[in-house]
A = this chain, B = another copy of it.
Amino acid sequence: MPEVVAQQVKSDVGLASALRSSTLRLSRQIRRQRVEGVDLTANQLGVLGALGKHDAMTIGELAAHEQVKPPSMTRIVSNMEEAGLVARRPHDTDKRQIVVELTESAHALLHANRRRRDEWLQTKLKKLTPEERDILRKAAAVLERLAAT
């Protein structure tokens, strides 16, 4: 480890900077790992992820979540529907709205993606020392709390 980093990290401003840099770098690499043969656009991936968390969302909610205008989301969902990734369903009480849900194969894809990323990360973790892994074990919980607030 370069001395410069060790020194910077002592101050809080240095901690923020070091954490920003290392987190962004690692996340870029994690993001790069995904199942082959399936090429989705960034927005399709975003929709998949959002539905993975929230189960069922309307077109408008998805558009807001993905920072995209409603007409664009209409087309994104249509494409994903043709690809068998999502299904449209009428809203229970409001007939204007359309509820979008993941299909079984989309759930499987999400799961496979996560699995692949985890496997990749595990092989990298094996190269660290037990002490380093221990530090990351504690840090994961803190990072989770940091991202949650």
**A6 at interface, CB cutoff 8 A:** yes
Using a CB–CB cutoff of 8 Å, the interface residues on chain A facing chain B are 1, 5-6, 9-10, 12-13, 15-31, 42, 114, 117-119, 121-122, 124-128, 132-133, 135-147, 149
Q: How many copies does the complex hold?
A: 2
Q: Are A136 and B128 in contact, CB atoms less than 8 angstroms apart?
A: no
CB neighbours of A21 from chain B (8 A): 144
Q: Are A23 and B26 in contact, CB atoms less than 8 angstroms apart?
A: yes
CB neighbours of A132 from chain B (8 A): 142, 145
Q: Are A136 and B24 in contact, CB atoms less than 8 angstroms apart?
A: no
Residue of B nearest to A117 (CB): B20
Q: Are B144 and A136 in contact, CB atoms less than 8 angstroms apart?
A: no
